[in-house]
Structure 1
């Protein structure tokens, strides 16, 4: 019997869960909708202000890691730890917790990825730069293609280094998030 995920070091986890990209899949929108429905059924309605599909799977027609990123924004009066506990009780694993942000995953197993994999980003309302980036790329297909090309160039170099992969995209993401914020203001 192999190691439990909790017993693996970062290098072992990165090898078990490498970065891989695939062409855009129509089912990603459906997977998000199914998970959104589940989240709405388990989370306190009066505390959840917004649930959104974010990340590359929410950007039409570009290659992406087949992982559905979900942003859950809660009221600033909410107990973030209480929401986290509900999510953990319903199959999510807490990966990182900071004062104002919690990241949870679902679909990681000792044998690798499950068919459906989710990254849930729990935040207070307004901490949502990802929405600006997503909408900007969906409105500007030329920029979306640039982003796809960047990701494809980084894929093999950082196949077993998620932090390096993310860091290498940071400048691009920041540039177009800022462009979207200038265009939209705080409308999102």
Structure 2
């Protein structure tokens, strides 16, 4: 049922610092080639530090019983689960603004920061899932995000409503969220 305040996880930097190898792969750069190129590594290291400076990560979460959720908000692969974890992670508006600002003079640097931010969100989500499992003594299914499989991207709006985050996160009619570096996820709780 919506109306409840979500739990909030405010991570330490180590909770969302992506592996450099993964961040580079997302940017389409081979790590083995990058480490031998002084210019690339200079840019990569500067962008990495800029990402850490600009990111203001937060993760909001709640657990729900199946009866509290509309059918369309649950992936068909999760038919066997009766309880769910829904969480929304964001790096905040500042990193979006910095990506936009960089794009005006360097598409390359903007793309690097965008790649860093995407990998940072993945690391944050992975870290949170491990923390949730450990603290609650529960296993989780794989996580699923709207826009994949049979879960329509516009389901983002429902997840934002369920966690009462309308004032923090804007969901456009298309399902795209602002801040852009925001993800919504659902996972089945293994009983």
Query: How would you bin the TM-score normalised by the shorter chain?
Result: under 0.3
Higher RCO by CA contacts (8 Å cutoff, separation 6 or greater): 2
TM-score, normalisation: structure 1: 0.27
By percentage of residues, which structure has more strand? 1
